[in-house]
Structure 1
């Protein structure tokens, strides 16, 4: 059962303080886990305070309310705000350290242009050490709207949905020009989009203005006026690039670039070509199938091909525990109703519960 928390405060700093007080131990755990990960990648002790200060500057310039929320979170948890800034920039710091992370996450969206009920599912794969370090956070806003996000303790957002008709899935990417500085954290960009935007046009404008230093695909899904649409926004230094669904309304994204010219600078396929295998599997299993349901997508994602092409990822008991990957959650968005389900573990645990055929 995943942890679910609903904030009672709408003012950003008070909301952060409430969250920090509620989950101080978990946030400290996130800081310790990321310090250990960064040190392992760098082969030395990484100065989180210095990197976190740079991240806070970028966050303050891009989304001042989220900067205030982080300050409140740090106060509530009794931590230096720079440490919270650093874990929010975990993707950017890993890029700065030169980490070539194994590909993570597979996203599938199926839309019907004449229906306002898109079907969306993603796996969230990350280090198994973080299996107890995430939650579903429900965030009310002063205007009566709300954001719901699946995220890590201390990080302001990730995949999620808002009550304005927008949803967002999240896949890491790797570009040759990543890691030259600490830019706008992609997790902050995701949360700020969900907090503030109500349609795809606004969201694309916001993401185009995000001066990022590490790459990710943010797949936007919109539902309004008896219609739905989707687009993957491939953020990268100098980006973004856009990827739209196939003619049958299917949009699949794993961990390699699909847009040009970014794909020419993609470092993922050479290091971890399983992203190509996962993408091909999902396309072949799902393309051209009318009436797809969430259970059908979860069934297609229940693939265990070992270290190559496993959409549903489990730790290998024959390998050392440190650095192992796992599917921590399977995330389903209901964009029409502004809600989500975060199912603990991989899709193989849940496909039958959703009526897979």
Structure 2
């Protein structure tokens, strides 16, 4: 079962304190697992507390309420706030450590110019060590709006949706300019967009202003006035790039840049070309389908092409347990309704289940 937690507090510091108190053990576990991950992959000496402090400074400038929420979470969990700053910046720290980090997530959106009901699905692939370290967090705000996000314990957000017609899917990217410093965490940028934005232009402007030090694609899905749209915002230290759907509304994103000029500095295809295989496979499976359903997309993602090109990722039992990847969740977003479903595990676990529903 997917854990769902709904905050009862709407003031940021109090909300964070409540979350920290309820989930203290899992927050401590997450911090220790990330510390172990950083130590395992580090290619240079590092000071985790200092990196976390740098991240907190960036968060305070960009989204002061989220800084207060993280501080409250640290108080509630009785943990050094710099360590929570560090795990919120886990993507940025991994880039700064020059970790040989592969990406595996795959996103598919089909927007509709004549309907607010876009289809939006992603696989979230990450280290299998963290398979029990995530939840769906429902976040009511003082103004009555709600943010819902799939995230890790101690991290303020990731993929998600709000009740104002905005959703977001997440794909890690890698660029040769990544890791020069610790910039704004992309997870914080995503959460703050969901908390504050009510239309696609607001969302794109906010993300374009994010001064990041590590690359990610945030695919924004928006619904309004009986229509829907999608834009992948490719964040990297040189500024944002934007990728739009094809004529049928289909937008596929895996883990390489699709926009210029950032694509010229993309390190992913050279190191892990399976991102190209996955993008090609999804595109060929779904192009020309006039009206997709979430089930059809999940069916297209139900593919296990060995160690490369796997859209549904499982640990290899022949390899050591530590450091392996798995599809931790399959996430379906409905921006028109402001809801999401986070299905534990990969598409192969859910095709028959959804078909029977």
1:101-147 CA-partner distances (Å, limit 9, x unpaired): 11220000011110010001000000000000000000000110000
Do 1:6 and 1:139's aligned partners in 2 also have CA atoms closer than 8 Å? Answer: yes
C-alpha displacement of 1:45 = 6.6
Residue number in structure 1 paired with 2:35: 35
C-alpha displacement of 1:33 = 0.6
Do 2:43 and 2:99's aligned partners in 1 also have CA atoms closer than 8 Å? Answer: no
Counting only pairs closer than 5 Å after superposition, residues 107-122 of structure 1 correspond to structure 2 as 107-122=107-122
Q: Unaligned regions of 5+ residues in structure 1, if any? A: none
Residue number in structure 1 paired with 2:23: 23
Counting only pairs closer than 5 Å after superposition, residues 125-274 of structure 1 correspond to structure 2 as 125-274=125-274
C-alpha displacement of 1:295 = 0.6
Residue number in structure 1 paired with 2:310: 310
Query: Do structure 1's residue 295 and structure 2's residue 270 form an aligned pair?
Result: no
What secondary structure does 1:109 align onto?
A: strand
C-alpha displacement of 1:239 = 1.4
Do 2:107 and 2:121's aligned partners in 1 also have CA atoms closer than 8 Å? Answer: yes
What secondary structure does 2:258 align onto?
A: coil
1:146 & 1:263 partners in 2: Cα distance?
Answer: 35
2:45 & 2:39 partners in 1: Cα distance?
Answer: 5
Residue number in structure 1 paired with 2:86: 86
Do 2:215 and 2:237's aligned partners in 1 also have CA atoms closer than 8 Å? Answer: yes
1:243 & 1:44 partners in 2: Cα distance?
Answer: 34
1:290 & 1:247 partners in 2: Cα distance?
Answer: 10
Residue number in structure 1 paired with 2:280: 280
Following TM superposition, where does structure 1 have runs of at least 4 consecutive aligned residues deviating by more than 4 angstroms?
Answer: none
**TM-score normalised over the length of structure 1:** 0.98
1:275-320 CA-partner distances (Å, limit 9, x unpaired): 0000000000000012211110001000001111000000000000
C-alpha displacement of 1:43 = 5.4
1:183 & 1:100 partners in 2: Cα distance?
Answer: 19
1:251-287 CA-partner distances (Å, limit 9, x unpaired): 0000000001100000000000000000000000000
Query: Do structure 1's residue 105 and structure 2's residue 105 form an aligned pair?
Result: yes
C-alpha displacement of 1:82 = 0.3
What secondary structure does 1:355 align onto?
A: helix
C-alpha displacement of 1:200 = 0.7
Across the two proteins, how many residue pairs are aligned to each other?
356
| Farther off after superposition, 40-49 or 196-205 | 40-49
Q: Unaligned regions of 5+ residues in structure 2, if any? A: none
Residue number in structure 2 paired with 1:339: 339
1:198-245 CA-partner distances (Å, limit 9, x unpaired): 011001110111100000000000011100000000000121000000
What secondary structure does 1:168 align onto?
A: strand
1:71 & 1:37 partners in 2: Cα distance?
Answer: 23
C-alpha displacement of 1:99 = 1.4
Do 1:174 and 1:216's aligned partners in 2 also have CA atoms closer than 8 Å? Answer: yes
C-alpha displacement of 1:44 = 6.9
